[in-house]
Amino acid sequence: MINSGTGSGGAPDSWPADRAAVWRAAIGVGVATGAYGLSFGAISIAAGLSTLQTCALSLLLFSGGSQFALVGILGGGGGAISAAATAILLGSRNAFYGLRLSSTLGVTGLRRVAAAQIVIDESTAVSTAQITPRAARLGFWGTGGAVFLLWNLGTLIGAWGAGAMSDPTVFGLDAAAPAAFVALLAPRMRTAEPWLIALVASGVALASVPFVPIGVPVLFAAVVAIVLGVRR
């Protein structure tokens, strides 16, 4: 009779403990990201989008950085084309995540479509941090599902709360989008290289402000960052 608490060769089976650890990580990341979704919902309303448009962005686009960029540019008076182009540039990183995860997940058909929707920073990070393929798959699906559910719930609550205000900008919500990007960037600024890229990109963006429409300087900064990254 084989003991369910042992693996092959009588070695202890670590999967139950590994599974519990992965679920703790997935739920923890989901809760933290959901709280961040509250901010996005409020910022989007302050930028002039409706509650329906805000919730549709989270359901369909589902890429926090891209969403903040899009509503930030629209809220600053930028055009829809420049806002969409910036969002697409920022979201393109998810394609590389998908390439990294494809062999681990091994999904086909409709599951592949579902997986593509939740290929984001958080699901990739938790998945790639695991040692075994089984834990990596659970990390991806568990984290992606938790973030998707709680991000959209947070978006709805944040949008509803901001929509109930007569003027959301009175509370400084119109300035929250750039503040959110600074918060995302801060943990990555630990070596000289990201500082150099940030300084060059921001310099190009600032120099172009007097000559191009609102939102285009952000595109220039993104292109500079991509070129420098590719050269590296």
CB of 152 closer than 8 Å to CB of 58: yes
User: Alpha-carbon distance 26 to 118, whole Å?
Assistant: 13
Higher pLDDT, 173 or 198: 198
* pTM across the whole model: 0.76
Measured CA to CA, the distance from residue 16 to residue 24 in angstroms comes to 12
- pLDDT over threshold 70, residue 75: yes
Question: What percentage of the chain carries pLDDT values higher than 70?
Answer: 85
Residue 56: both structure tokens together: 């549709």
DSSP state of 61: I
**Structure tokens belonging to residue 226:** 């991509």
Q: Greater confidence, 52 or 166?
A: 52
Q: Are 152 and 55 in contact (CB under 8 A)?
A: yes
Average pLDDT value for the chain: 85
Per-residue confidence band for 70, with pLDDT thresholds at 50, 70 and 90: very high
Residue 20 host element (H or E): helix 15-46
Cβ atoms < 10 Å from Cβ of 109? 7
Query: Whole-angstrom Cα distance, residue 60 to residue 33?
Result: 17
155 sits in which H/E element: helix 133-163
Please compute the mean of the pLDDT values over residues 50-76 and round it to a whole number.
92
Q: What is the largest CA-CA distance in the chain?
A: 77
Q: What mean pLDDT do residues 110-124 have?
A: 94
**Confidence class of residue 147 from pLDDT cuts 50, 70 and 90?**
very high
- pLDDT confidence band for 50 (50 / 70 / 90): very high
pLDDT tens by residue, 26-36: 999 999 888 88
Name the residue with tokens 């958080």: 122
